[in-house]
Amino acid sequence: MYGKIGLEEHFSFNDTIEDSNGFLDPVIWPELKNRLMDFNSKRLHFMDEFGMEMMILSLNAPAIQAIPNISRAIEIAKRSNDLLAEQVNKKPDRFHAMAALPMQDPEAASNELRRCVNDLGFCGALVNGFSQIETEESAVYLDLKQYWPFWQIVQELNVPFYLHPRNPLPSMSQIYDGHPWLLGPTWAFGQETAVHALRLMCSGLFDQYPDINIILGHMGEGLPYSMWRIDNRNSWVKAPPKYPAKKKIADYFTANFHITTSGNFRTQTLIDAILEISSDRILFSSDYPFESVEEAAIWFDNASISEPDRIKIGRTNAIKLFNLSI
């Protein structure tokens, strides 16, 4: 399929590049670093060869969210967004952008999102999970009331918000002791992000701001396959929910969330996701350069789904959600 749009596609620059060092074998690091910092060479080559018309680019992880110093987080976020805007403006037919935001300061994050959308022409934001604020041992999540004025701005601007994974802090990762291979995309990314998303659903946030659109990668971080159990555990007891939100969790998942295929290239998983959340809320992504555009595209182009669903997931859902003019 030609014309695919990918929206979990990463870049980096000098201030954040080392955050990605260690995710792959050290032998691979020079190549991964090169791909993260490249806009015009290998990236475009892979896009052209495998039918990807556009990448919606975002900063690597954890980046801004792992900077406890608030003023520096604000500074690096602005610097990253300015650099990305410069690159996108060189090839607006091939690239679009999601903002990096200093969530350490909700007001500064709101202002930066406004600037990126209104002045730089960005089409959304991507934030790497919880933020560390003032100390490296803090983990502050986005369902907290201090962030609700920020979420109001997200709704007013009508742009999607991508909740991207990061590892839990070492002090909160005892379950992974002795099993470091479970960290990162193998397992810890999904678990951490799924709980964060559930916190948002349970908080009442979407009762207050019902038009917010959240995107989860990696086929929904495992959530599509747990929705029934989350809402129906011990149902014979008929006890009322203990969370503040007014509806069932699945109602928020199907009304306020979208998922992407990033880094999860399995047809059975995609079909399950279609049955749970519908093909209208699934979007193609490759997770470049941590994953391969080639593998993502060849799998997706040949997946056993209907052609109308392929076109929606591969292209038109992104055009609609991000209000793209292509």
Name the DSSP letter for residue 21.
Answer: T
One-letter amino acid at 265 equals F
Measured CA distances, 140 to 65, 132, 190, 282 (Å): 10, 6, 18, 28
Measured CA distances, 325 to 51, 94, 258 (Å): 18, 12, 20
Is 253 within 8 Å of 273 (Cβ atoms)? no
Backbone angles phi, psi at 11, to 5 degrees: -135, 170
**Candidates 105, 143, 287, 309; catalytic one:** 287
Q: Does residue 244 have a cis peptide bond before it, meaning omega lies within 30 degrees of 0?
A: no
Alpha-carbon span 113 to 124, nearest angstrom: 8
Alpha-carbon span 219 to 75, nearest angstrom: 32
How do 214-216 and 161-163 pair as beta strands?
parallel
Alpha-carbon span 122 to 93, nearest angstrom: 14
Which secondary-structure segment (H or E) carries 126? Answer: strand 124-127
Residue 98: Cβ within 10 Å count: 28
**287 tagged catalytic:** yes
- Contacting residues for 277 by C-beta, under 8 A, at least 6 apart: 220, 224, 253, 254, 257, 258, 259
Is 108 within 8 Å of 102 (Cβ atoms)? yes
Provide the edge-to-edge strand list for the sheet that holds 124-127: 4-11, 52-59, 95-99, 124-127, 161-163, 214-216, 257-260, 282-283
- Show which residues are catalytic: 287
